[in-house]
Amino acid sequence: MRKVVIVEGKQDAAFIKVLAPDLEVREIELKELGGGGKDHKDTLRKVLKALQNDSQFNPIDKIGILLDLDPSDFTVKSRLAFVNEGIETVFGVKLESVNTFQQATNLQLACHFIQPNLDVLLRKIAAKPSPRANCLHSCLESQENAKQKEREKAWPLYYMRWDICGTAERKNGAKYVNFSHTNTKGAWNLASPVLGELKAFLSLF
């Protein structure tokens, strides 16, 4: 039966498709939240409400919520409370813990938090040398006005564009500077143990 995993944005969705290429076979859909920070409570609620309405016509078995923990803004407890605000408003239930399904009326819900966030995780699973990305990132680090999240998000993009893609590929970034293409060039170690918890969560669907 149909399953849905809610992710923060396009980059998250693109990576999950590479990590779990059998999503379509398993009838798992990805829905983008458009950001999962502390200012996105209403967005999460709206996405959940839309799925609830949709499930009346096209039944959903399971809904998963996959967000960055972002320790600068949340603890696991406060992040879970953030998620539960949306879930309780729409479905009238609360999640007691992460990675565990809670039964609502017609479906099950669960959540998982990537620690600390996907961008840091990506740097840990980079499988190729990254001198250019490291150099560019060091320059960004020296800029006092650059926020921590901006710095973390920049490294994977630097790595894909400047260390993995060739000169011709960089000219067509929309086609080549992405997880799908760079994975074909061995950019990511998808067997890394740091992906264990994320894989375990996705295996629940």
What ranges do the domains of the chain cover? 3-118+194-202, 126-188
Q: Which of 31, 21, 102 is nearest to 67 (CA)?
A: 31
Q: What is the mean pLDDT of the chain?
A: 94
pLDDT at 88: 97
pLDDT at 154: 94
Contact 137, 151 (CB under 8 A): yes
CA contacts within 13 A on the Cβ side of 123: 15
Range 101-105 average pLDDT: 95
Range 10-21 average pLDDT: 96
Tell me the percentage of the chain whose pLDDT exceeds 70: 98
For residue 66, the cross-strand partners are 112
* pLDDT above 80 for 146: no
For residue 190, the cross-strand partners are none
- At 19, the pLDDT band (50, 70, 90 cuts) reads very high
pLDDT at 37: 63
pLDDT at 143: 85
Token pair of 147, please? 């926020």
Q: What is the pLDDT of residues 158-184, one digit of tens each?
A: 999 999 999 999 999 999 999 999 999
Q: CA angle, corner 93, sides to 8 and 75, nearest 5?
A: 50
CATH class as words, domain 3-118+194-202: alpha beta
Q: What is the pLDDT of residues 49-100, one digit of tens each?
A: 999 999 999 999 999 999 999 898 899 999 999 999 999 999 999 999 999 9
Least confident of 15-19, 70-74, 105-109, 166-170: 70-74
Range 128-137 average pLDDT: 96
- At 113, the pLDDT band (50, 70, 90 cuts) reads very high
Contact 157, 118 (CB under 8 A): no
Token pair of 38, please? 């502390």
Token pair of 197, please? 């918890």
- Secondary structure class of 204 (helix, strand, coil): coil
Q: What is the pTM of this model?
A: 0.93
pLDDT at 75: 94
